[in-house]
Amino acid sequence: MTRLLLFFLLIPACLYAQKPSARKLVWSDEFDGNGRPDPSKWTYEKGFVRNKEPQYYTVDRTENARVENGMLVIEARKETDFSDGEQIPYTSASLITLGKHAWKYGRFEVRAKVPKGLGSWPAIWMKGANYPGTKWPFCGEIDIMEFVGKDSSLVYGTVHYADSTGKYRMEGKKPSVGAPYDDFHVYALEWSEDHMDFYYDDLKYFTYELKKADNRTAGNPFQKEFFLMLNLALGNPKNLGGRLDDRILPVRFYVDYVRIYQ
């Protein structure tokens, strides 16, 4: 009887121990070395891109995106003399894998430290690889992590899509986790054929069922490939980021690694 009980007690531990080995690391960036982010892995968004955000995303500018001390640093700055044909008040960077790498299903894991301060708005997120040919929200969007300085104890995990009638939909959760800006944390998405699980370290705080995004005409966007995005936006009173306090600038978003398992 004792041996039989011990056998059954060990089964969950054995299964747990075998789970990581069932996945294979298919893509990663450990951000080793110093200088510019790896151009074989990343490209950039450019300009004033969305949400009436005040920052201008620069391309291949180490003041805004660089690798140093074993991590990626994305820095938002207040500018006095930066110009790209027009006066630019703030700069930052948005690194993306569009046109280089895309994935469907797997575990997407990023260890990062978010910046504190009113108006800081870092994100780890994904869009359908058929973008921009397929417009948002029809391409789908997966926000693995958003952090906004005005809600400094929360992290956001959200999905955006169009339903079968073409109407915009979103669903997500924003757990209170204390002070995420005080240290590095693991932000992860586990995406399978029928659902997605969102994690803050070991806390699974949101599950989304993919069938909710079924579209008779366009198909389900979450059953297609997505590309990855890392960016540091700044807020304004008319968007989610909220009012920007210039006194926080420059502000930095640190990414220790990105690892993708399938």
Residues with a catalytic annotation lie at 141, 146
Would you state the structure tokens that stand for residue 186, as one six-digit string?
């693991």
CA proximity to 240, closest of 136, 90, 119, 96: 119
DSSP tally for the chain: helices H, then strands E: 1, 17
Cβ–Cβ < 8 Å for 134, 162: no
CA proximity to 205, closest of 169, 240, 158: 158
Q: Among all chains, which residue has been given the structure tokens 């978003």?
A: 253
User: Residue 239 phi/psi, 5° resolution?
Assistant: -135, 180
DSSP state for residue 58 in the 8-state scheme: P
Pairing of strands 71-78, 141-146: unpaired
